[in-house]
Structure 1
Amino acid sequence: MSMQEMTAKISDGQGFIAALDQSGGSTPKALKLYGVEESDYNGEAEMFDRIHEMRSRIMQSPAFTGDKVLGAILFEMTMDREVGGKPTSHYLWEENGVVPFLKIDKGLEAEADGVQLMKPMPGLDALLARAAKLGIFGTKERSVIHAANAKGIKAIVDQQFAVGDQVIAAGLMPILEPEVTISIADKAEAEAILRDEILAHLDAMPEDKQVMLKLSLPSVDNFYKPLVDHPRVLKVVALSGGYSRDEANDILSRQTGMIASFSRALSEGLNAKQTDAEFNATLGAAVDSIHAASVAG
């Protein structure tokens, strides 16, 4: 599982990154959308078994291959489990040609200065070492911007790049995710502050280092093009952020060089009660539409 091959796949491949990383708080919601009610399982262990069944079904579907899906972001518990008799990360790369990433943040702090920073990650170095050993290529860490507050956005970007440095030091590729909430009135202003802060950090990075960025779809088409074109950036990916799949695909298709990293928009329409043929057809249609929007730009 060579980092060089994976880097080339993300850099040159035509496709998108699947986000399969719902964690404890969002799992019941994800399962409900998948047709599994809270009454269908007892306690957290069974809940995580059910979500792993769903993710395994997605990963083992003939629709989920590296020709359209470049990478997949995993929840820590998914990384620690197996798919098709192999560690999940090995299965993704060896069987599907899909590059494995790991969600590393531990959730969000309470809102301050219009943003939610990431909670502390005391065991991060140990987690990164474990991930590297399992052949994980990169990480993803999310924080959220709720207002065009310059102080808050600077704090978010500073924290993202600090964590990114730690990830790079462990030999992995960080996906920095400072999400802008899509429903806020001052979204465009928040994006302008965010872009400037990110550019300042990128310009200060050593020439032999790179990061990836995961950003909300912008209010102004190609607003993030300077980030897409920056030599310190391997790839800019978009989150669906609450838009329906059709809306997200529509906006994404107008962004040059930006690709999807959708979670809910990818699994929209999938149901535990579907036959394999129905499930694979539904997933195939989702993969095709998100792939088309990702390569359109």
Structure 2
Amino acid sequence: MNKVQMDRIQTGKGFIAALDQSGGSTPKALLQYGIKEDSYSNEEEMFDLVHDMRKRIITSPSFSSEYILGAILFENTMDRTIDDQFTADYLWEKKGVIPFLKIDKGLSDIENGVQLMKPIPDLDSLLKRAVEKNIFGTKMRSVIKDANHEGIKKVVEQQFEIGKRIIAAGLVPIIEPEVDIHSLDKEESEKILKHEIFNQFSNLGQDEKVMLKLSIPTKDNFFSDLVGEPHIARVVALSGGYTQIEANEKLSRNQGLIASFSRALSQSLTAQQTDEEFNATLSNSIKAIYAASIT
């Protein structure tokens, strides 16, 4: 593990840019960016276009370590290059931004009010490749729809079980048990979730650390006791379908919580914008998300 990067993640001011839409969500991400599905005829062309989009964001002068601590990539982006450097190396060496990798393979069907992660059969080899590509940490997502104690317990157990394997590989896991923002009992789910997360800390070694990526809580500062917990490197928040303005407003009321936004970061960017327009729009978004993250 890179100590300089760990110190920056734990103490740095800024937020994490989530650039990790993968196979299933890529067409939606491209559509939001102004590229229709008839613009590409196969998966390879689609991933070329999405890499161009991400490259445009990462190489923008607005995308800098002054505001951004880290960026989450997906496997295809990790394996590609920007200016003849692998993406993770470009991020750290040219931008001072810490690279993370999305490792989950998507969600299982709803059971007990939750969606567990699908199995990750090639996990060990993927983690080995991530270390070789100078990735700092990983991210994996589950979803909680209802305040079902059994379901939420299973989500947290699965996350931490895989998290231990990630730590053993020399990486820092971002554990993401997302509570659906449209859930009718979201606040109750958050109470159960926090309880189950605290239960897992006894399974971690004294120096083992994880990050948490959580939905912005219904009750302001509900996760503040997690922010200072010794096993937690950082607590970050997902935008979860809120607009950028809504997400920033809610985030700003939660001290110590920083953003890890995806759609809310890129929502106003389009392929049709000139570089000047694109960079100005991205700059405004980055500064607004940063401001909400340093409260």
Q: Which residue of 1 aligns with 2:285?
A: 286
TM-superposition CA deviations, 1:17-72 (whole Å, max 9, x none):
00000011111110001000011111111000000000000000000011111000
SS of the residue aligned with 1:25? coil
1:120 paired to 2:147:
no
SS of the residue aligned with 1:273? coil
Q: Which residue of 1 aligns with 2:212?
A: 213
Identical pairs, percent: 57
TM-score by length of 1: 0.98
Q: Which residue of 1 aligns with 2:194?
A: 195
Paired positions, count = 295
Alignment of 1:153-192 (within 5 A): 153-192=152-191
Q: Which residue of 2 aligns with 1:139?
A: 138
Q: Which residue of 1 aligns with 2:81?
A: 82
Q: Considering only aligned residues, what root-mean-square deviation do their CA atoms show, in Å?
A: 0.7
Q: Which residue of 1 aligns with 2:33?
A: 34
SS of the residue aligned with 2:294? helix
SS of the residue aligned with 1:17? strand
Q: Which residue of 2 aligns with 1:262?
A: 261
Equivalent residue letter for 2:3: Q
> C-alpha displacement at 1:134, in angstroms?
0.8
SS of the residue aligned with 1:237? strand
- Equivalents in 1 of 2:78, 2:30: separation in Å? 19
- Equivalents in 2 of 1:293, 1:135: separation in Å? 29
Equivalent residue letter for 1:200: N
> C-alpha displacement at 1:265, in angstroms?
0.3
SS of the residue aligned with 2:241? coil
Equivalent residue letter for 1:73: I
TM-superposition CA deviations, 1:69-112 (whole Å, max 9, x none):
10000010000000121000000000000000000000011110
Equivalent residue letter for 1:212: M
Equivalent residue letter for 2:180: T
Alignment of 1:91-110 (within 5 A): 91-110=90-109
Q: Which residue of 1 aligns with 2:244?
A: 245
- Equivalents in 2 of 1:138, 1:178: separation in Å? 17
TM-score by length of 2: 0.99
> C-alpha displacement at 1:203, in angstroms?
3.8
> C-alpha displacement at 1:206, in angstroms?
1.6
- Equivalents in 1 of 2:174, 2:91: separation in Å? 18
Spell out structure 1 runs of 4+ moving beyond 6 A: none
SS of the residue aligned with 1:288? helix
Gaps (5+ residues) in structure 1? none
SS of the residue aligned with 1:62? coil
SS of the residue aligned with 1:183? coil
Equivalent residue letter for 2:245: D
